[in-house]
Structure 1
Amino acid sequence: MFRTILFDVDGVLLSEERYFDASALTVWEMLYSPKYIGLAGDAFEPAPEESVIRRVRAEVFDHDKVLNFIKTRGINANWDMVYLAFSYQLVRLLAELHKTKSEEVRGILTSQIHREAIARVKELAQGIDFTVDYAAFVADFEKSTAEKQALLLYLNDLVREKTGIETTIFSRNSELWDLCQETFQEWYLGDRLVADSIGRAAYQKGKKGFLDDEIPIVEPAKMAEVLAELKSRGYELGIGTGRPRIETVEPLKAMGLLQYFNPNRVVTASDVLDAEKRYPDRAPLAKPQPYCYIKGMLGMDCHDDECFGLALPIENGEEILVVGDSVADYMAARSIGCKFAATLTGLTGQEARAKFEELKADYILDDMTQILTIL
């Protein structure tokens, strides 16, 4: 019998669509904004109309083929998606520059890529004949069997393949990843709220943010009814999400859902980042690593050493249920040894059923409200 139920947020309680929009806009900005690489060929603006957002999303993720591929390989964090999509185009650009400016490119690819390095790439790329090819991403990454965080490391292999340069700079623990993460936060939170998340004002001002455009997966009153019933039956309810804390708490509070979750069991990407800073040798800790669900299972007041020292798979796995929409959630649950309920409300909707059947998920639900049918 289950005692604790841990929910993912994106694709389970709230729609992922605006997160994917913000991810695409981040890649677009870093490629075309004069404050970053400033490529020719597209006119960047910090407050695009909805029609522009739809176009950019379709182009950057090749009509979601890139997103589907990344998620199937076990990556679920939007920050990682941005890093992969932008870094891939950066590698392609540097490979083109390497033909005529080999030493300059070698210097960039063997050091940390920060704002100054991006500015140097912008200088080198002036007047070069280069075309961004978003669709090439899947074809290049399909050559590898890399999954989870190894996908980020595969960028180093692509550098060697395309330039002959040996490097290890592409990883979760890199200055470029941090830059991608902060730029994404600017888009999602907007000028008004971003400083609360990243500790500084927006580098590129004029962004309105998406926090007020959150879309619930199911009508909030219906979700509240289900969560209230679960609590009345004595289940401990928690959250393990790739969203930062402000982006988790505020919309769930506004929809009247936050009250049903034990605050001691609400674990967000902010908590994961903090843990990575305290224990850099254990990074990455984001899904599909099980840290956020282990922390939610044991409680926020437990010491991280207890999380890291927990013997996996746990002996009482039948007492814990993880509810998620992604392969990354499934992988995390399997690492813990607990039960997993897949919801078909993520990026690919009902099409995900075949994948979860192949993975032998314990339960497959049309949406989170069906959780009452399996208890």
Structure 2
Amino acid sequence: MAAKNLIVFDLDGVITGEDAYWDTAGLVSHELLYSPLYWHIDTRVAEYQPVTTAEESRQVSRAILPEAVIVRLKSRSVNSNWDTCYAGFCMYLIYLLSHLPDVTPLLPLRPSEPNWIANFRFHIDLLPKIPVLDERVFTALNDPVFEGYNGLALLERFNAYASKVLHTPIKDVFARYSPSWWFCERLFQEWYLGDKLYIEESGHVPVQTGKPGCIHFEQPLLPIPQLKETLEKLGQQGYTFGVATGRPREEALLPLERYGLLNYFDMQHVTTHAEVAQAEAISSKKGRSDSLVKPHPYQFLLAAHPGYLPDEDVQNQQPFIVVGDTPSDVNGGHAAGAIVVAVKTGARTAQALTLLEQSEPDFLIENVTKLPTLLETMDSLATIQKLQFTEREKAERLLRWWFANHMNLTTERVTLTPKAVSLNSFNGFYRTQGEEYFFKTHVEEQGILEEYYHAELLREAGYNIVRPIRTLHEQGQQMVIYPVVRWPVMFDLMRGVETSETGEVNRINAEMLIDAERRECKRLLAIYATTQQMSSAMEQAHAPIHQLFWHRLVGERYRQFYEGKNVPIPHKQETISFEKLLTYRWTINGMALPYTLGELVDRAKITLDPVHAGITIIGHGDAHFGNVFLEEKRDYLYFDPAFAGRHSLLLDVIKPLFHNVFATWMYFPYEIDRDMQI
């Protein structure tokens, strides 16, 4: 089971910088090219002297393996720094081989073996001049043989590319975990760790000594105080931190320890290359050769669910958040069922940023310090309500995460059902442990009044009500869970009658709905008669129904929807400000009203003030047709009693009356404008 509120961080490009790794990749190619122990393309240099400072490392490395080439490889899911280094090795080796008049003496290619390397060096020395090393080395990636291939599949395409440029079949030479890949990996570790750490880790002395270790040149991506402050804020918000990185374990933990950040992370949720390699080895013994590196979801799933095995079903597990900087992080995180936040700090070129955006992370932020504020926005039903219309899949991922965090509810699937009438709510279905349930929430961002779910009160009064099986009430976070109701909704039935062609079927449907309405009106009158009583001003003031009227009129809802807005004038390319609209008197059906719209609003604030004593009844409060099922083609079945209680009879009927009569005008204005002549 994943930790509650778990965030799984990639390291490079998010918390740690990648420059030291990129320097290492270039230095490996430089050593291969110029060391007498390897290819030694320039025999004028008798002895190879490794660079010793951070400045020298950066200068020499970037000259051999430019940053633009590394970024391009990253954009094609070559994410492991070993793989990046190996891609540079492949391009340089094939480029040099292509300059030889005849490669036959070097076949089959065995570029990791000392005897083959010596033979290759001999043939390079026979060339009349040293091959020019420039951008032509990297034009290999433009070749059609690489088109459509990414990640480890791209590395394997170097066999096809070598066959093409060398005019001879090359098979099974270039691939991850091939002998030449392990050869490069060893050189990479020599450069990255330096002599001392390499000997401690491997028990071997580097072939070429004198390497200081690029790990000692490594710097955090952002100032350490900013990173600490960010993790402190997230910890205060209740989050647990994990890691999913392609680094070897010690190389992941050592920088975090040096920066004073390691103690923030839960070690059972830290996964590195070591765990991936172990899982791949186990799969290999079973006859499977699947790669489990990113963008495969394995590493993220293992970080989230310690003990996870490849291909294990985790549909009904705790959702979590992934923070990464590459398309592989985004794709792998989504494949793991996570909400993915991408940071721009790892996208060091405009092209890399474009590719990151095209991978469609759920959220994109400048850097990791923006995460605490973003998570506050994400952990909001109001955010989900807004996203349901434009980015439904993202909204569903957020809601699944919200259910887990606020209701301790793990779900296999969440499906939102956006409706035009849902201006301040959303609903849908979720599935858990093989059962399906319906949910609905009301979103009032300001949370002025608490919302109550008085289904039992309505049932006792005589209403045919769907009784919720679970509710949650927090400030600004209300949720009610129902059993799934399969009956049709009255709003949809009425809409069908209104928009269908006239005919016998439509006539029968209309008569059925009219009969049902008559029956329900009779039942409502009986309920009103038996439940009416006098209520005090204070009792009235606490009725939830006032959230629909007075509180919206005097609170943020009115200001948010109207103040400062411009209203389009029909059939004209003009608008009028709402403030100006308030100054006009209105004429409706030929009758001139004595008050301006602004004066009517002010009068309504007084008239609708809930602190008035009066006769009250027990009512649903929001029984418009969007909240009514038709059961057995005859009886109304109410649900979502968010505003139910004891309140004014007039308020109980006015919203359903207005909503049911004018719903089409409110929610489908363009259809009305198209079909109706006024």
Give the TM-score normalised by the residue count of structure 1. Answer: 0.89
What is the aligned counterpart of 2:281 among 277, 283, 287? 277
Distance change >3 Å, CA 212–CA 116, structure 1 → 2? same
CA distance in 2, matches of 1:198, 1:177: 17
Distance 2:263 2:142 in 1: 43
Q: State whether residues 23 and 184 of structure 1, in contact with CA within 8 Å, keep that contact through their aligned partners in structure 2.
A: yes
Q: Could you tell me how far 1:69 is from its partner in structure 2? A: 1.1
- The residue identity in structure 2 corresponding to 1:56 is V
Query: How much does 1:48 deviate?
Result: 4.1
Aligned-partner Cα distance in 1 for 2:216–2:103? 46
Unaligned runs of 5+ in 2: 376-678
The worse-fitting range, judged by mean Cα deviation, of 182-191 and 198-207 is 198-207
* Residues 187 and 208 in structure 1, CA contact (< 8 A), matched pair in contact too: yes
Higher normalized helix content (fraction of residues): 1
Does residue 162 (structure 1) correspond to residue 165 (structure 2)? The answer is: yes
Aligned-pair CA distance for 1:165: 2.2
Q: Could you tell me which amino acid in structure 1 is paired with residue 365 of structure 2?
A: L
> Aligned in 2, Cα 1:357/1:340: closer, same or farther, shift over 3 Å?
same
> Could you list the runs of 5+ residues in structure 1 that have no partner in the other structure?
none
CA-CA distance at 1:316 after TM superposition: 5.7
After the TM superposition, which residues 42-61 of structure 1 pair with which residues of structure 2 at under 5 Å, given as runs?
44-61=48-65
SS in 2 for 1:173: coil
Distance in 2 between residues matched to 1:276 and 1:196, nearest whole Å: 25
Deviating more after overlay: 134-143 vs 324-333 = 134-143
Asked if 2 retains the 8 angstrom alpha-carbon contact of 1:285 and 1:291, the reply is: yes
- 1:72 equivalent in structure 2: 75
Counterpart residue type for residue 171 of structure 1:
A
Secondary structure of 2:7 counterpart: strand
2:91 to 88, 91, 96: 88
User: Whose relative contact order is higher, 1 or 2, with alpha carbons under 8 Å and at least 6 apart?
Assistant: 1
Q: What is residue 336 of structure 2 aligned with on the other side?
A: 336
Contact 2:72/2:352 (<8 A) preserved: no
Contact kept, 8 Å, 1:326 with 1:346, in 2: the verdict is: yes
Is residue 322 of structure 1 aligned with residue 322 of structure 2? Answer: yes
Give, in whole Å, the separation in 2 of the partners of 1:250 and 1:101.
Answer: 44
Q: Which residue of 2 aligns with 1:310?
A: 312
2:193 counterpart letter in structure 1: L
In the TM superposition, what is the alpha-carbon distance from 1:269 to its structure 2 partner? 1.8
One-letter code of the match for 2:292? L
Provide the secondary structure at the position in 2 that maps to 1:222: helix
Report the Cα offset of residue 12 of structure 1: 0.6
Structure 1 residues 371, 85: CA separation in 2 closer, same or farther (over 3 Å shift)?
same
Give me the whole-angstrom Cα distance separating, in 1, the residues matched to 2:295 and 2:329.
6
Q: Would the alpha carbon gap of residues 353 and 100 (structure 1) be closer, same or farther in structure 2, given more than 3 Å must change?
A: closer
Distance 2:23 2:265 in 1: 28
Check 1:49–1:254 CA distance in 2 against 1; reply closer, same or farther (3 A cut): closer
- Aligned partners of 1:374, 1:350: CA distance in 2, in Å? 23
Is the contact made by 2:38 and 2:117 (CA closer than 8 Å) also made in structure 1?
Answer: yes
CA shift in 2, pair 1:149/1:30, >3 Å:
same
Which range moves more in the overlay, 167-176 or 111-120? 111-120
Question: 1:279-311 CA distances to partner (integer Å, 9 max, x unpaired)?
Answer: 334353322223221221112xx1xxx421224
Partner of 2:219: 215
Deviation digits for residues 128-174 of structure 1 (CA, Å, limit 9, x no counterpart) = 23415352244221222211111101100111101222212210020
Choose the corresponding residue for 2:31, options 29, 32, 45: 29
Q: Is the 8 A contact 1:59 1:134 kept in 2?
A: no
CA drift at 1:319: 1.8
User: Which one has the largest radius of gyration?
Assistant: 2
Q: Distance in 2 between matches of 1:247 and 1:3?
A: 26
- Check conservation: 1:325, 1:345, Cα contact below 8 A: yes
345-354 or 17-26, which deviates more: 345-354
Amino acid at match of 2:304: M
Among 275, 296, 302, the alignment partner of 1:295 is 302
Give the whole-Å Cα distance in 1 for the aligned partners of 2:371 and 2:158: 39
1:236 and 1:260 map into 2 onto residues whose CA distance is: 8
Equivalenced residues, count? 363
**Contact (CA 8 Å) 1:239, 1:296: kept in 2 or not?**
yes
